Structure 1
Amino acid sequence: MTARWLKPYMPRSLYARAALILVLPMVVVLLVVSIAFVREHLKDVTQQMTHAASREVRLILDTMAESETQNEGLAQVRPLLKGLAMQARFLGPNESPTIEARRWYDFIAPQVESFLRDELPALSAVSLPNSQMATLYLQTDLGVLELRFDRRRLSTVAPHQLIVTMVFFAVLMTSVSFLYMRNQLRPITRLAEAAQAFGRGRVVPFSPGGAVEVRAAGSAFLDMRARIERQIEQRTLILSGVSHDLRTPLTRLRLGLSLLPEEDAAPLLQDVAEMQSLVDAFLQFSQGVSEGDPVDVDPAALVRQIVDDAQRAGQNAALGTITGEGTVKLRPVAIRRAVENLIGNAVRYGTRAEVGITLTGRSLRIRVEDDGPGIPPDQRTEAVRPFSRLDPARNQNQGSGVGLGLAVVADVARAHGGVLRLGKSESMGGLCADIIIGR
């Protein structure tokens, strides 16, 4: 329960959390040492010194107790004042005690005043403006006596020096630790950046570094990246090779069927056309997102061009709302293929398609909506798998799809570090397909 309410206030980055782990114990130690030093050690020392000074003050008061005038009293205690290094005088009839402001960091002064009031009932006021001089105002039968002496007789000199020294060295050592910690965390940051870039379809140079554990994680990432790249390359080569090799027999079949009577060859030519469509889909799926590296692309301009091309091809496609401006690192050929697949599916299973864009500082969303039957929520996960054909939801007799359209779109989205989300169009009632890519 405690972790839940504390979690929103905790830093999210590794560097900030490591800094908190480093600084928090240091601050706690400083507070504990400071409080213990002030309350225990300094308190005892101050009480002893104040008690000794109070005995001297009481001696002066007792000596002048039998005097009848102020001058006589001062004359009687003059030898004591000289020996005790004190100065004394009586305040005038219209004169009041002068209480100077204390220093804000003088945390010993309140203890000194408290001890003096306990020891000296005749004390009426105390002035402790600095560490050099202390002034006591005592109520006597002859008037208010002002007694001045060295402040160092009441408490230690500059008791805050220990705390200041601890704070200085704590800040110094913490700064050094921060520099060392930043150097240790830099390899982790580079590993995170390389992994994030690879997840978005970019390969950035990376070499393992840092501690042994970080080096091991970096080497494991490089091996994983190499295996994934080999698998992608092998998949592309296999599918491309198979699809390419199938074209030759299909061409021979089409030539052979052209020699037969038209009424006999028609059904067979339809089968060959479906096989040709399947081969083309294989080629498109095998190409994936292999067309070059990501470049800065204006997604609004790219989508406008795709919609214009679809309209010239006779597809009922329209450009919807465009929100935001800027560029995003994309593979334009792959994005074009993905959006064209979505538009093709929309006009095949519905009557029209609408394409919109939302560009923010964190993400890019390309939305394609249609007025077709849509896809039920429980079948949307299955719909993006290769060779998936959802006959009840989207009538396959309306086209020659082979179940790779949404799979290609999902593959393109994942290669850009994004995701394909399927839902229901609120405005058109059919399918709503969102390609969401982080910036």
Structure 2
Amino acid sequence: MISALIKRILPRGLYGRAALILVVPIVTLQLVVSLAFLQRHFEGVTRQMTRNIAHEISLIAHEVADAADAGAAAAAAGRLGGELAMEVALPAGPQAPAADSRVFYDLSGRIVIATLRETFPEIRGIGLDDLRRVEFTLPTAFGPMEIGFDRSRVSASNPHQLLVLMVFTGLLMTLIAFLFLRNQLRPIRRLARAAEAFGKGRVVAYKPSGATEVRSAGNAFLDMRARIERQIEQRTLLLSGVSHDLRTPLTRLRLGLAMLGEEEAAPMIRDVDDMQRLLDDFLAFVRGDATEEVAEKCDPLPFVRSVVEDARRTGQAVTLHAVEGAGEVLMRRGAVRRALENLIGNATRYGTKAEVSLAILDRAVRITVEDDGPGIPRERREEAMRPFTRLDDARNQNRGTGTGLGLAIAADIARSHGGTLRLGDSARLGGLKAELVLAR
């Protein structure tokens, strides 16, 4: 419970956590120094200064006690008070403090009162309401004697200066640490942006910089990106060559079959068409999103509407059901169109109708295709997105056969855009619901 609460409170980003690591020790150090050192230091100084002035007060009290009468006592008190820079009144005036009083935040005043009472237990009242003066009443044989003097004589002058200096130094060092931290984290953030963009199928310029460890990670990322790009390029070139070499004999076979009788050639022509479609789908899957197409910002609503209209013109029973939100998304239009066409084709092949919905969210764009077909069992949905997988017992094979690459191509394109392909049950139509999610 406590650990979960701490995780929710702590910042999630590296910058925030690193800043917290810097700030907490500085604040803790200032608090420890303030409470432990400053309090003890200034309390000791205040106690010592109060004891020193208590000797002067004792001298006045002894002179008053040795006086022959009240007049001589008042004269002696006044004379010594002037010499010792104190204001002495005998007898005390009507405004003399009758009880101890101080401001609640006057911490050193507590030490002054305790030290004076330790030396003069008979003191009636010590008034520290005015932070600049000390006033108290001391009983004598000739009546109460009021004594007042400047507060600076019993308290350390300007104790806040050290606190101000500590706070200013702490803020200055924190600012310097923040600047240094920002410079150290900037290469990490650039690396994260480059990796995130590459995960969405985009290549952004990146040059390793920063600390040695960050440079090593950046160089490793560049090497990995280069290897992946070379692998994709080689795979695409290989499959393009294979496709080109196979199209020629397939074309010759089709021309040769066309010269035969229609009844004899029809089954073999269908086989050739299946081989051609399989070859096209296989090439599209292997090529994936590794074309020369550049990702660009576009409004998903006109894009999805155009794909639906194109599918309707080819005779597919598909409609645009619902639209939510507005905005633009960075994507490869050709690749996403191919993925959406595959989903719509699967929906209309295995069902009688399909419905497309669009939701433009804050961090993603979700395109949903639902049908009224038999659907796919929950335990076989992950298998259905694997290449060349045909779930013959789960889908309607009377409407035609597929190559088993439609969902795999759509899932691959979704991943290349930083998203995913999710399969579920359509609550409205009762068939399969395929959600193509693209990161914004």
TM bucket by the smaller chain? over 0.9
Q: Tell me if the contact between 1:413 and 1:420 (Cα under 8 Å) persists in the aligned partners.
A: yes
**8 Å Cα contact 2:421/2:435 also seen in 1:** yes
Q: Equivalent residue of 2:427, what SS?
A: coil
Contact kept? 2:96, 2:136, Cα under 8 Å: no
CA contact (8 A) 1:103 1:129 kept: no
Report the equivalent of 1:4.
Answer: 4
Q: In the alignment, what sits opposite 1:304?
A: 305
Within 5 Å, give how 1:65-80 maps onto structure 2: 65=65, 72-80=72-80
Using a 3 Å threshold, how does the CA distance of structure 1 residues 118 and 424 change in structure 2: closer, same or farther? farther
Would you say the 8 A contact 2:128–2:134 is kept in 1?
yes
Name the residue aligned to 1:430.
431
- Whole-angstrom CA distance in 1 between matches of 2:238 and 2:89: 108
Query: Which residue identity does 1:256 align to in structure 2?
Result: G
Measured in 1, the distance between the counterparts of 2:211 and 2:15 equals 16
**Equivalents in 2 of 1:148, 1:93: separation in Å?**
12
User: Partner of 2:374 in structure 1?
Assistant: 373
Q: Distance in 1 between matches of 2:349 and 2:119?
A: 100
How far residue 336 of structure 1 moved from its aligned partner, in angstroms, is: 1.1
Contact 1:123 1:139 in 2 (8 A): yes
Q: Is the 8 A contact 1:387 1:402 kept in 2?
A: yes
Q: Structure 2 regions of 5+ residues with no counterpart?
A: none
Inter-CA distance 196–143: structure 2 relative to 1 (3 Å threshold): farther
For residues 273 and 158 of structure 1, the distance between their equivalents in structure 2, rounded to whole angstroms, comes to: 96
Q: Does 1:264 align with 2:238?
A: no
- 1:114 corresponds in structure 2 to 114
Alignment of 1:278-357 (within 5 A): 278-289=278-289, 290-357=291-358
Q: Note the alpha carbon deviations across 1:117-173, whole angstroms, 9 max, x for none.
A: 44333141322534x543334455656543222323212211222222222112111
Match of 2:45 in 1: 45
Instruction: Give the percent of matched residue pairs that are identical in Structure 1 and Structure 2.
Output: 52
Q: What is the deviation of 1:299?
A: 0.6
2:108 & 2:38 partners in 1: Cα distance? 8
3-state SS of 2:438 partner: strand
Where do 1:15-414 residues align within 5 Å?
A: 15-65=15-65, 72-89=72-89, 95=95, 97=97, 102=103, 106-121=106-121, 122-127=123-128, 129-130=130-131, 132-138=132-138, 145-289=145-289, 290-414=291-415
RMSD (Å) for aligned C-alpha atoms:
2.4
Q: What is the CA–CA distance in structure 1 between the aligned matches of 2:71 and 2:317, rounded to whole Å?
A: 115
Three-state SS of the structure 2 residue aligned to 1:64 is helix
Distance 1:126 1:61 in 2: 19
Quote the offset at 1:68 in angstroms.
9.1
C-alpha contact (below 8 Å) 1:109/1:128 kept by paired residues: no
Residue ranges of structure 1 left out of the alignment (5+ in a row): none
Relative to 1, partners in 2 of residues 1:42 and 1:253: Cα closer, same or farther, differing over 3 Å?
Answer: same
Are the aligned partners of 2:369 and 2:433 in contact in 1 as well (CA < 8 Å)? yes
Whether the aligned pair in 1 keeps the contact of 2:109 and 2:128 (CA below 8 Å) is no
Cα distance in 1, alignment partners of residues 145 and 356 from structure 2: 94
Distance 1:92 1:394, change over 3 A: same
Amino acid at match of 2:315: G
- For residues 69 and 390 of structure 2, the distance between their equivalents in structure 1, rounded to whole angstroms, comes to 118
TM-score by length of 1: 0.92
With over 3 angstroms needed to count, the CA separation of the structure-2 counterparts of 1:395 and 1:47, relative to structure 1, is same
Secondary structure, aligned partner of 1:208: coil
Query: Are the structure 2 counterparts of residues 92 and 41 from structure 1 closer, same or farther at C-alpha, using a change threshold of 3 Å?
Result: closer
